[in-house]
A and B are shown apart, each in its own frame.
Chain A
Amino acid sequence: MSRLLLKVEGLSKRFTAKRSVLGRTLAEVRAVDGIDLELRAGETLAVVGESGCGKSTLGRLVLRLIEPSEGSVVFEGTDLTALTATDLRRMRRHAQLIFQDPFASLNPRMTVSDILEEPLMLHAVVPPGERKARVAALLRQVGLRPEHAARYPHEFSGGQRQRIAIARAIAVEPKLIVCDEAVSALDVSIRAQVLNLLSELQKRLGLSYIFISHDLAVVRHIADRVAVMYLGRIVETGPAEQVFARPRHPYTRALIDAIPKPTPGARRERPLLEGDVPSPLAPPPGCHLHTRCPRATAICRSERPPLAAIAPEHEAACHHPLEAEADAVVDAVRDPRLESLMKAFDPPSVVS
């Protein structure tokens, strides 16, 4: 097993939703509520959950683009939450971010070469004389042509822009990239290409990914491990195969069951959860899910269930975890269309 790259402990972020006239906090949202995570070098950890569950906030907290309210983020032995602004900027060389919307994440007033040279300059990745050559190499690496360096972002399609954003992220030769819904805004065929590019780069550069997504079909392809979030907390985490094949938390199970079946006449199972996600301003006490969970009992209403080991490497935060059914839902997470596209766009053989 490879070495530990990132260790997150007790990470929380509270946003003030309402203030009194005197500036006292009247209401707050716990966007991220006491999260523990570990990431190993070269590994892909997917963070999944519905919109509003705090997964994007988590991604930004890990990079300390948002200041955490509590907790620590230890990256290669350094606690990021304790760094000064200058040291934090220096650390940014090792951890990068790819955004969801490639139309918003590139400065419209900068050419591609400005965008890619900036990180090279800031972190002195290569001597000034070699920057142009490195930009050309980066563009080739993400499947664009060196001539594209003189263009502005608006001259590219969404998929091409996302490649530019990826090139910017790998320009500093990072160890970790947080992909915040990095392929969600792309068409299915482009999505397959970009996913292939990401895994290709991971193999070649030894990257670790934190892959934030709501799309389980995508996650299934790229993730080694999965962490499922609900209202700011991780409810289940484990190896991707295992979590998808044998979910132990009712919420995970419900997420998987909610994927539309591509086969006509597929058996539509009774929905596992009732009602809507409660307001994050006033989450229910105890287990956040108890208002919607058919298995809820008295203890669920009063006590927050801790993340507990259920199988090797597999943890769930549930007082009444599901039994390990024998591969009952194993194929639910497949998206045959995406799979065939990924295969189609996969290069026959890559010679490095």
Chain B
Amino acid sequence: MTAVPVNAVQSVPDAIESPGRRAWRRLKARKSALFGLVVIVLLVIMAVFAPQIAPYDPIKQSWTLVRKAPSAAYWFGTDEVGRDLLSRIIFGARASLSAGVISVGIAILAGVPLGLLAGYAGGWVDGVIGRLTDAMLAVPFLILAIALAAFLGPSLGNAMIAIGVTATPIFVRLTRGQTLSVKNEDYVEAARAVGNPPIRIAVRHILPNILPALMVQATLTIATAIIAEASLSFLGLGQQPPLPSWGSMLNSAQRFLSNAPWMAVWPGLAIFITVISFNLLGDGLRDALDPRSK
């Protein structure tokens, strides 16, 4: 097919900037989001290299070191059975971060396909999925997670599943709503007109366009999931002793609040910093991925 330009077009701007690159540039411009991102990266490094970073064995007990206040040797002090708190905080990041990421991963893997199906198919499929999510959303988040975790049995893995299932309706709802708004766009009708099968339309044409909203929601939900994991561990339904998790550390600290307050301060601070970092990143992403803002 040789073709002579019918009437050649004037210049096209030379800059090639993909939507992803544009979002990154705008994210970088936001100090608070960048701060959140840096802290999260540091936390991840800390969790991954915990054995190399931690000064002591996090589960080694010592009856001579019970409830020592922070000192040069034990920066964060020690707990009620003489374990180094700094080491436990560093190892505890593994439980918290993996609980946050894995449970949100479960929620996304279950929620996004259901939401796409409900939004794109509509009709009775939408009705059934919609009523089920409504029913789950009617129960407070933490109560449902606790009930599920208690039902599954106490372990970190079960706590993640419980949190993931509990967070699923959030993603079903969001995905469904976004799908409904995107599916009436001309480019989705164009995809139909060109002969795409429904699954390809959902995955190739709708999903990439609702991804920004999902990313923002995922980041914010990770923060919620970390708190949920801490709560479950606090109740003894998450990480099992002697392995450390910030929630279970808070749990054991509550009995010594008056004479060993540092035991509660560090895990509390760790949760606070992690959660706020994810929230800052989530807010920044929301702005950076919003096509309407410059």
Note all chain B residues with C-beta closer than 8 A to A197.
Answer: 6-7
Q: A119-B195, A155-B12, A160-B12 are in contact. Are A101 and B3 (CB under 8 A)?
A: no
Q: Is B138 an interface residue (CB 8 A)?
A: no
- Bound Cα distance from A110 to B209, whole angstroms: 10
Q: Is B242 an interface residue (CB 8 A)?
A: no
* From B195, B204, B205, contact of A92 by CB (8 A): B195
The minimal Cβ–Cβ distance linking B7 to chain A, given in whole angstroms, is: 5
Q: Which residues, 308 to 352 on A, are CB-close (under 8 Å) to B?
A: 345-347, 350-352
The minimal Cβ–Cβ distance linking A125 to chain B, given in whole angstroms, is: 11
Most chain A beta carbons < 10 A, residue from B13, B187, B189: B187
Q: Which residues, 1 to 50 on B, are CB-close (under 8 Å) to A?
A: 1-9, 12-13, 15-19
Q: Is A18 an interface residue (CB 8 A)?
A: no
**A144 contacts B9, C-beta separation under 8 Å:** yes
The minimal Cβ–Cβ distance linking A201 to chain B, given in whole angstroms, is: 8
Q: Is A78 an interface residue (CB 8 A)?
A: no
| Contact size range, B | 20 to 34
**B195 contacts A123, C-beta separation under 8 Å:** yes
**B194 contacts A352, C-beta separation under 8 Å:** no
Note all chain A residues with C-beta closer than 8 A to B12.
Answer: 145, 148, 151, 155-157, 160
The minimal Cβ–Cβ distance linking A101 to chain B, given in whole angstroms, is: 6
**B209 contacts A105, C-beta separation under 8 Å:** no
Interchain Cβ contacts within 8 Å, total number: 116
Q: Is B140 an interface residue (CB 8 A)?
A: no
The minimal Cβ–Cβ distance linking A206 to chain B, given in whole angstroms, is: 14
**B193 contacts A122, C-beta separation under 8 Å:** no
**B3 contacts A141, C-beta separation under 8 Å:** yes
- Identify the closest chain B residue to A104 (Cβ): B186
Note all chain A residues with C-beta closer than 8 A to B291.
Answer: 108
**How would residues 95 to 122 of chain A score, 1 for a CB under 8 Å from any chain B CB and 0 otherwise?**
0110101001111111000000011001
The minimal Cβ–Cβ distance linking A75 to chain B, given in whole angstroms, is: 14
- Bound Cα distance from A223 to B204, whole angstroms: 36
Ordered by A's residue number, 30 sampled pairs between the chains whose C-beta atoms are within 8 Å are: A65-B192, A92-B195, A97-B193, A104-B185, A105-B190, A106-B187, A107-B209, A108-B19, A110-B208, A118-B194, A118-B204, A122-B194, A137-B1, A137-B3, A138-B1, A140-B3, A141-B1, A141-B3, A142-B6, A143-B6, A150-B16, A155-B12, A155-B16, A156-B12, A160-B12, A168-B190, A196-B6, A200-B6, A351-B4, A352-B4
Enumerate chain B interface residues (CB-CB to A < 8 A): 1-9, 12-13, 15-19, 185-187, 189-197, 204-205, 208-209, 291
Counting from the closest, the 5 A-B pairs by CB-CB distance are: A92-B195, A141-B3, A104-B186, A109-B208, A105-B186
